[in-house]
Amino acid sequence: MTDTLGRCIALVAPGTGGGSDLTTDLRALASATGHLMVSDTNHLANENPLRTLFTHRGAIGTKSLYAPTLTGVTTTPSPEDIAWLPAIDPTGARTGYFNLRMGSHAIHRASTGRRWPSLRCKLRMKAPSGYTVGVVFCAVRGIGAPTNASPSAGTFTTATTFQDVTLSLDLDDESTLVRTADIASGYASSGALAAPEPSSINVLTLWLGAYCTSGSAANVASIGGITVYLVEPT
């Protein structure tokens, strides 16, 4: 049976008693009750892999984002157009670069149909007057750095007021790298310690890079409200 209802139906906890307890003693277990329980279980199994992966305030304020692309691109950038360099140099000065390594994450297939979830990156961005700001969102198989071979999605704008942006990436069997991790065994106050249990997980690493064509700290772009999360596959 699948997630037939698309949501959970709150049931009275077994053992509560009363007329609303569908599993109370001596009450026949109706097929509708079993249907609701199985549907709830499958719905929770579908929702469990979907979660927020990363949030960040972005680059807002003076001397934040003003560095151009490495290649002179002034439209939607590819991963290799971005200078993946620190925003602050060893002296503590701003560099004008803005990019984020948004962590390595274990990704799980949906329980129904064994489909991969989709990635969404939401943010707001605006350019300084007369210039362009662009971003690219990348998913790297395993834990590496982004290249043009990495799945990516990007956009650009010349708007001087904040624009809402949603960047989407669909995952497939080649999007993640299978790694072995030891599951924590917990703590025992006495007796032999439990042995860690090895488990295979599917891992990818997320990156966000940006540029601004001004090249000057006097004219900076802003990117804010960055959130990356997983959604149900289409």
Q: What is the pTM of this model?
A: 0.77
Burial of 140 (0-12, 13-18, 19+ CB in 10 A): buried
Q: Is 126 helix (H, G, I), strand (E, B) or coil?
A: strand
How wide is the angle at C-alpha 36 spanned by C-alphas 35 and 38, nearest 5°?
A: 65
**What is the model's pLDDT at position 19?**
62
Question: Would you kindly state where each structural domain of the chain is located, as residue ranges?
Answer: 1-47, 52-183+198-231
Q: Does domain 52-183+198-231 have CATH number 2.60.120?
A: yes
CA 101/CA 67 separation, integer angstroms: 18
Phi then psi dihedrals of residue 46, to 5 deg: -70, -40
Q: What is the pLDDT of residues 181-234, one digit of tens each?
A: 777 666 667 777 777 777 788 999 999 999 999 999 999 999 999 999 999 876
Q: What is the pLDDT of residue 25?
A: 63
- Rounded Cα gap, residues 60 and 194, in angstroms: 48
CB 229 within 8 A of CB 120: yes
